[in-house]
Structure 1
């Protein structure tokens, strides 16, 4: 099977996912890739997730302690670990899909392919920079607040790290505290970009499928300009392209549906907890954290929406997407062609293509919903419900 070097697109997102242990290194054997990811997941659960869980239990036993920050990090660590595992299990299928999206031998390169992917590469790098800045800023704030943390805490816990952890030993020892802060910060650098990078890859793949849908529409509009034989040949070509696009969408859905379900199930809870921190404590670092989660779920919902709607890239770049979102379809392009010049058999085949085109392509979030902008609004409503519950 061909490797990463044969995929000219998605290079930045694949590289950043390598930094999160979710994409194999060059020429790395699958067994070593899965082994190092498994070791990291076990260490994460044993050292971070369990420590947060114990801290939450002791906070509840003490009473009068706001546990929203602990709940947010506890849900985050579980979500990120599950997403890492689910993504890694589908990595080979995902690479095969990427290779097919770069194959233009049969239908040619879609218009604006290079410019669109160049723009997407810019946004991937921007999002990665935001993730790193957020993690560094969050940790610096916690380090500055060490004296305040030690005065106000009611139960033993680490101060100065991104997350307050319960430890069975003295967390205020200078060497021990420094090692804990460094360890948690390194873990955060690996994991902080997981949801955003996976979400961005959803957007990248969906936009590349959308480019092929737009190309198919252009082919359909000029399908019946010549004689009957040439028109029939062009329609067969379009039908085959349509079948390939449907196949791309189905494989795309299989690669991401379980991970997106975990993302969906967690985001509302995490955002609600972070909103509670912002309302009660006015924490600037919580604002950076919540923007990351809102951005990741918005990007993935946008990617799902693109499979159902056609949106010009300049509207995305100018952030007018929600205002000017307008749907067009393959069926509309087929009906807008000069089908009336074709013979009866060709018209019947075109009708079948139109009927299939009316069934939208989508990315599912498990068995319950699909990724779209309406789902994004529902998740934001859910986060508000969590906020009211915590208050």
Structure 2
């Protein structure tokens, strides 16, 4: 029997997080040392954020508006990343508890497809890690590929933008002098540097136990399935308590970033802008896809029970069945604050910045593009 305190899910994801100092090597090691390492890693990259915001402010003050679109996208992206990191840190113990509950196979047994699904998610984690590294490499290589273009713009527009950096940066030093420029470039490279799927698997397992209890006309097994259903629903509530506001900020910022980066791509080709665009968009699609599947799987339990041969059940079990059907009519969501929940529809409504959540992402992005074009 496996210990209830041992995490058996998403091993690769947790290994990569641990490697980057954002998850403890052992789930019991959430102490002062872990928090200090996390804080040191986060604050060691703060100059990139400060420099980007200062660059944006200086350009606005000078009324040059050079690369305003990318400055906005980077400032928003970095600010959002810091929020995600510290929000995650605040909920780290709750997150570990979720993983422990998902790894508990003593109480209700293991889902039939656990090993297959967990193995699949571990492989996807590897692919996703490679994808992230590739995107970071693209952001790092792009400035050097576009170095000549940047110098030509400086001569043509009579400006003094520093070429060869991942994003615009202003600091009270001459960034074109050695070693500032080289140090900042590598500093920025350093800075750049399926819980829901397991819930879905658990809901599938709950459905199988419910149907098995109905097939056997066993009220005892049915009560066990009800208890299991309540436990999995509580796990979903824990996930929402950990990630609800992160999802809200993710939705809020993605539209703004897509709008700014989209404007840059309309003006001219930019490898860095493409990497930023793909990174945020793919991240949003992945989360929305899982959120949609979670909703559908939680509702499918009631549908499967309704389609079963419930007319042959004993009276006591029929009464229990009515209560379960009423509960299953309320879907389980991956929530995103005031925006509601993550689903396919969220992809169309993302990035509204709180103005009107019913408009789709194309309209929202277009509003950002229009604003930027008027200031150019």
Q: TM-score, normalised by structure 1?
A: 0.85
* Aligned position for 1:363: 334
* Contact 1:24 1:30 (8 Å CA) reproduced: no
**Aligned-partner SS, 1:225:** helix
**Aligned-partner SS, 1:370:** coil
* Aligned position for 1:53: 53
Choose the corresponding residue for 2:209, options 219, 226, 233. Answer: 219
Question: Gaps spanning 5+ residues in structure 1: where?
Answer: 190-203, 311-326
Q: Quick one: distance in 2 between partners of 1:295 and 1:169? A: 37
* Contact 1:79 1:262 (8 Å CA) reproduced: yes
* Contact 1:52 1:164 (8 Å CA) reproduced: yes
Measured at CA, do residues 352 and 101 of structure 1 come closer, stay the same or move farther in structure 2, by a change above 3 Å? same
* Aligned position for 1:194: none
* Aligned position for 1:384: 366
Deviation at 1:328, TM superposition (A): 5.6
Q: Quick one: distance in 2 between partners of 1:112 and 1:3? A: 20
Choose the corresponding residue for 1:177, options 174, 178, 181. Answer: 181
Deviation at 1:5, TM superposition (A): 8.6
* Contact 1:301 1:373 (8 Å CA) reproduced: yes
* Aligned position for 2:108: 107
* Contact 1:160 1:181 (8 Å CA) reproduced: yes
Q: Name the count of aligned residue pairs.
A: 356
Q: Quick one: distance in 1 between partners of 2:18 and 2:152? A: 40
**Aligned-partner SS, 1:121:** helix
**Aligned-partner SS, 2:296:** coil
* Aligned position for 2:98: 97
**Aligned-partner SS, 2:80:** helix
Choose the corresponding residue for 2:296, options 292, 296, 309. Answer: 309
* Aligned position for 2:355: none
Residue 338 (structure 2) pairs with residue 338 (structure 1): no
RMSD of aligned C-alpha atoms? 2.3
* Aligned position for 1:30: 31
Q: Quick one: distance in 2 between partners of 1:22 and 1:176? A: 29
Question: Gaps spanning 5+ residues in structure 2: where?
Answer: 351-360
* Aligned position for 2:86: 85
Measured at CA, do residues 158 and 34 of structure 1 come closer, stay the same or move farther in structure 2, by a change above 3 Å? farther
* Aligned position for 2:353: none
* Aligned position for 1:76: 77
* Aligned position for 1:205: 195
Q: Quick one: distance in 1 between partners of 2:122 and 2:235? A: 21
